[in-house]
A and B are shown apart, each in its own frame.
Chain A
Amino acid sequence: NAGVTQTPKFQVLKTGQSMTLQCAQDMNHNSMYWYRQDPGMGLRLIYYSASEGTTDKGEVPNGYNVSRLNKREFSLRLESAAPSQTSVYFCASTRIFGASEKLFFGSGTQLSVL
């Protein structure tokens, strides 16, 4: 049972470089999320996709774009990385949106932007 799979696990970028974080879930979940976690800040929502074909901004969307490629996959793109985007990124999914469903998290991506 893979659950939620994120790649890569670690990444170092230079300022201005671009990259895409990949996320896939095999639980047939409808809703997917991208969070970032910074020391002392807790988990903050970047973007989410309540269902296939829809995406919405979360609390901290600036500097990011997302694509819900299909029901399984939800990618996060940094077009021009900045040091402020150094963080741990988590992808998560729920069976349906907004119905007291627990989140299933991926193992995270540690991103450093120099």
Chain B
Amino acid sequence: DTGVSQDPRHKITKRGQNVTFRCDPISEHNRLYWYRQTLGQGPEFLTYFQNEAQLEKSRLLSDRFSAERPKGSFSTLEIQRTEQGDSAMYLCASSDRDRPYEQYFGPGTRLTVT
């Protein structure tokens, strides 16, 4: 039983560049969540999918952020025109339909914007 996987694990980019992260959930899980965590804070919700439908987006998710889950399996999170304030750990979590709030996190992608 493989857990949630994320790629890449680390990303260093220059301000203004675009970056894309990938998340593969636990295979039988139909819900997929994206969170962002900065140092000393708890994870903050960004958006979530049920199957391929994006059902909620946080106001933290500015127009520069977009997420997709085209076939209801893996998901991508893209950040356009990165800013230094985007530096954070981006966490993906998944859950199954019967216990949607028991969320299991992947290892995260640490983004550093220079």
A and B: interacting chains: no
B residues in contact (CB < 8 Å) with A: none
